[in-house]
Structure 1
Amino acid sequence: MVGTDTVKIFLLSVASLWALAGNFRAEATYYNREYSANMENLLPSVSRPTNLSRTFYGIMFDAGSTGTRIHVYTFIQKDPAELPVLDNEMYHAVKPGLSAYADKPDVGGDTIRQLLKLAKKTVPRHEWKRTPVVLKATAGLRLLPEEKAKALLDEVREVFDESPFFVPNNSVSIMNGTNEGHLYAHTRKTVGILDLGGGSTQITFLPKSKKTIYSAPPSYIARFNMFNNTYQLYTHSYLGNGLIAARLATLGALGADGLEWRVFTSSCLPKKFREDWTFGGLTYKVSGIPDGYAGYKLCYYEIMRVVKGIVHQPYEVKGSSIFYAFSYYYDRAVESGLIDGNRGGIVEVRDFKKRAKEVCNKMTKYRPISPFLCMDMTYITCLLKEGFGFKDSTVLQLAKKVNNVETSWALGATFDHFHNLNIH
């Protein structure tokens, strides 16, 4: 586990290292012009005494497909010659995500307004006008029609403009797939990152083999400079392959019409299960197969069609790399009893497979937890094995937090926001 003073670079995301860099540099011109008089109060300058520490704040909204999360970070810079360190995080999440308000953008805006009230309680009043607030939407909004996504983002911008916080240029936007990767950097040790959201899934790691770089699609390799080092990062986000989107694809409901009368069935669901299920503002009638068969083998076959041939298999993942797995990987491992919900844990890919078989072949036992648990656990197994190409023996570290900080791209994006504004 990394120490507190290394959390400052623990989750420097690709958002902070790649696509967002251009946005933030553009913001820097505006920020420095309009706020140059206040800049020296935000962070210490090199002319200040080296023993004078400064505290500053950043607000990052992660607008995901299943919920909206607010991260209010507190940073302390003890020495102008060193990077700031993360001192604290206030984190809160609300459900559903913004995409659920596709036809009611004003209601979606209210969820942001309520979360900003928490930010006001966390950030001291005298720091409000110097604290940037940013929202990055992920797969949920990318799956919406463009005009509906735009209406939601416009509503969020209005809410931000009403707030007392500093609103940078391009403060509200939809991230592309590359943005959602993560980077773990602690001395020379690196680990890969697997993230499974509702609408998309991401894989990110620093390749050790040139064959990985040469054999990957060019768009999967991000090259960037950070703190006097040049990195080549393998990173890709698969839109439509998040856990919830995969449910729709398995059911054959992704992009389907006639939702008011069609019933979507699957061998991955309990035979007697039937209910209306809502995602992305649409309601689907889903059901098991009452007179058919259910279980792991049939479910795996259904899901194979969703995964096979869609996900690129990096050369290196068949080796002994260490991968951290977050979000729904963690949640479903807890629900199925693979790991402890408070402590996380270490599992092998074969453990997901073994537990998926148990859940699918005893659906009645696990139905009270979730009727979708068989489908979800089988999808995770299939994604890891048939999708990314991991071996059964690949070790996954499942975690929700590291040093009491939520594991997401948001910290890196916030941290780098200051870094690219030339605040040192």
Structure 2
Amino acid sequence: MRRLAVVREWSQQSRRSRPESGEASSVARPLPWEQHLPWVGQRGPCRNQRIGQPSEEVWKYLPPTASYKKETTAGVAQSSADEEMRKIPNNGNLKMTKVAYPMGLFVCLFIYIAYIKWHWASATQAFFSITEAAAGARRGQQAQGPLGTTAHGHKVFYGIMFDAGSTGTRVHVFQFTWQPGETPTLTHETFKALQPGLSAYADDVEKYHLEIKYYQDVKSFFDFSGWMSTPGIQELLDVAKQDIPFDFWKATPLVLKATAGLRLLPGEKAQNLLQKVKEVFKASPFLVGDDCVSIMNGTDEGISAWITVNFLIGSLKTAGSSSVGMLDLGGGSTQITFLPRVQGTLQTSPPGYLTSLQIFNRTYKLYSYSYLGLGLMSARLAILGGVEGKPAEDGKELVSPCLSPSFKGEWEHAEITYRISGQKAAVNLHQLCASRVSEILQNKVHRTEEVKDVDFYAFSYYYDLAANVGFIDAEKGGSLVVGDFEIAAKYVCRTVENQPQSNPFMCMDLTYISLLLQNFGFPENKVLKLTRKIDSVETSWALGAIFHYIDSLNRQKSWAT
């Protein structure tokens, strides 16, 4: 009622101030609503008149203003109006309003987009779960019924293995089906690799930790994968999250195994780095044990690769099946692993060369050994006369008979740059190089006669060198005999002088591989199979390692119950 009385008063004032018909007025009267405006004293935006003042009755409803002076006379001069205008407090309020409005709009828009992103991710996960249960899992896997069970009654489980190598970090996400009493079946593998390797952070562990923590803090709130740069471990974890249904996360083991790159680091640096990775793993939604992050010794690496190959070719499905051996040549180490059938091999093997493996409810006694420092890159350094982890004294140039006599250049290994050059040769380059390589291998490799009777698969640099000289298809792989490496070495060493800069290490590398295989005991006519994949699955140690880890978890569970 009080407000109604005020409105009536405004209306009466308006009628009293309106000029009679035909009467000229030199002063424009304010409209009733203009009297409510606090900035009294201005001129109207469209009329050449000063805005009027509110009455005493209206005044009590306006907010108090310390420096505002009420006017009761409508005909005050413009100078007085300007003076009153200057008295009105501003304090930047209008300016702040102009800034606050777009800022508020931006914040609201950002929150809205975050909500849409979260809602979309949840809907996508739900969609895939429903699709897998009703019409078959992604990538052609069998349709699933209740959690972990296929339409045919097989159990479904997943495993995540990180391969932290010297040159990069790789993630393998495996999906398996399994029925009690049978060997598991691999139904899918997702693979992704990133550079650099973990060892690149060895001297700046805290930076690595802070990068990961920043990514986790931001991503955990908005889940904007792909909107920001990510550290390698966290980005590869996201690959696993996208590939594994949400309901399986808590039951999926997450493991990282570091290989020769971290084995060559000082112990404290390596452990500090792995501890930071473990903290990231502990914050993930997957199954993480106390031994989830570790440095894999070379023997375990060879055994895991042996499991991978023999699982993929089907020799582990039934007891007594014929198995194959495994040869792996990495950058820092090389491994040889096979299942001995001859009693003499078991009796004459040096200590540490025989190991017992329990997997799939069977026990295997394997011949397996890893030669640290005899990987291709480490062997190059030794042949050149360098020392692992140490720069050449006073920038001294390393000279080798395995390089073209006219070659001069630089070579980087383990983040150290070496100046290298070829030795002036008076005789055949291959002979000089073979003599130098033999010195490096002398008394370092155990020779066993049984290898000539076992089928072997060879991987990594064996594969790369064979593909480079055209012995096998670069994509599909193939087979060759051990003597082919020596033939290629002699040819390349003879022609390297014509193209010394194109591939200066080819003569050295081929000569080294040829003599390494001979020292293992392989005859020249021994056939080796070289491949990167079997049934579209990478022939790395990762699959065997996750099998071994899951098998050990199952044994621990059975012992506990």
Q: Calculate the TM-score normalised by the size of structure 1.
A: 0.82
The residue correspondences of 1:18-37 to structure 2 (distance < 5 A) are none
Equivalent residue, structure 2, for 1:100: 200
1:307–1:229 Cα change, 3 Å:
same
SS of 1:392's partner is: coil
Equivalent residue, structure 1, for 2:429: 295
Equivalent residue, structure 1, for 2:171: 70
Q: CA deviation at 1:361?
A: 1.6
Equivalent residue, structure 1, for 2:191: 91
1:50–1:118 Cα change, 3 Å:
closer
Alpha-carbon distance in structure 1 between the residues aligned to 2:198 and 2:524: 37
Tell me, yes or no, if structure 1 residue 362 matches structure 2 residue 519: no
Which of 321-330 and 95-104 deviates more?
95-104
1:287–1:158 Cα change, 3 Å:
farther
Which of 55-64 and 271-280 deviates more?
271-280
Equivalent residue, structure 2, for 1:411: 543
SS of 1:347's partner is: strand
Equivalent residue, structure 1, for 2:286: 165
Alpha-carbon distance in structure 1 between the residues aligned to 2:374 and 2:528: 19
Alpha-carbon distance in structure 1 between the residues aligned to 2:269 and 2:368: 28
1:128–1:366 Cα change, 3 Å:
farther
After superposition, the C-alpha distances for 1:176-203 in whole angstroms (9 at most, x for unaligned) are 1220122423451111110111111000
CA contact (8 A) 1:102 1:281 kept: no
Q: CA deviation at 1:382?
A: 1.0
After superposition, the C-alpha distances for 1:86-139 in whole angstroms (9 at most, x for unaligned) are 011111223343223322334597222222232222222333333221111111
Tell me, yes or no, if structure 1 residue 112 matches structure 2 residue 233: yes
Equivalent residue, structure 2, for 1:80: 180
The residue correspondences of 1:24-423 to structure 2 (distance < 5 A) are 43=148, 51-77=152-178, 79-105=179-205, 106-107=207-208, 110-181=231-302, 182-183=306-307, 184=310, 185-186=315-316, 187=318, 188-255=321-388, 256-258=390-392, 261-289=395-423, 295-317=429-451, 319-363=452-496, 370-385=503-518, 387-422=519-554
Alpha-carbon distance in structure 2 between the residues aligned to 1:370 and 1:351: 19
SS of 1:120's partner is: helix
Q: CA deviation at 1:42?
A: 7.0
Alpha-carbon distance in structure 1 between the residues aligned to 2:453 and 2:499: 33
CA contact (8 A) 1:89 1:405 kept: yes
After superposition, the C-alpha distances for 1:16-48 in whole angstroms (9 at most, x for unaligned) are xxxxxxxxxxxxxxxxxxxxxxxxx8756xxxx
Which of 303-312 and 411-420 deviates more?
411-420
Alpha-carbon distance in structure 1 between the residues aligned to 2:336 and 2:272: 30
1:160–1:75 Cα change, 3 Å:
same
SS of 1:421's partner is: helix
Q: CA deviation at 1:315?
A: 2.8
After superposition, the C-alpha distances for 1:207-258 in whole angstroms (9 at most, x for unaligned) are 1110011010131111244444332210000111111111111111123454
The amino acid across from 1:75 in the alignment is F
CA contact (8 A) 1:359 1:366 kept: no
The amino acid across from 1:343 in the alignment is K
After superposition, the C-alpha distances for 1:312-336 in whole angstroms (9 at most, x for unaligned) are 001312x332111011100111112
1:160–1:235 Cα change, 3 Å:
same
Which of 295-304 and 192-201 deviates more?
295-304
Q: CA deviation at 1:53?
A: 3.0
SS of 2:337's partner is: strand
The amino acid across from 2:362 in the alignment is N
1:275–1:408 Cα change, 3 Å:
same
SS of 1:231's partner is: strand
Alpha-carbon distance in structure 2 between the residues aligned to 1:91 and 1:253: 35
CA contact (8 A) 2:481 2:525 kept: yes
After superposition, the C-alpha distances for 1:137-191 in whole angstroms (9 at most, x for unaligned) are 1111111111221222122223323333222211111111220122423451111
1:364–1:99 Cα change, 3 Å:
farther
Alpha-carbon distance in structure 1 between the residues aligned to 2:274 and 2:391: 26
After superposition, the C-alpha distances for 1:283-313 in whole angstroms (9 at most, x for unaligned) are 3222223687772111111111111210000
Q: CA deviation at 1:272?
A: 3.7
SS of 2:238's partner is: helix
Question: Which one has a larger percent strand, Structure 1 or Structure 2?
Answer: 1
Gaps of 5+ in 1: 1-40
SS of 1:86's partner is: strand
CA contact (8 A) 1:196 1:202 kept: yes
Q: How many residues align?
A: 377
CA contact (8 A) 1:268 1:294 kept: no
The amino acid across from 1:87 in the alignment is T
Equivalent residue, structure 1, for 2:218: none
CA contact (8 A) 2:392 2:418 kept: no
1:227–1:121 Cα change, 3 Å:
closer
The amino acid across from 2:528 in the alignment is L
Alpha-carbon distance in structure 2 between the residues aligned to 1:380 and 1:116: 36
1:225–1:135 Cα change, 3 Å:
closer
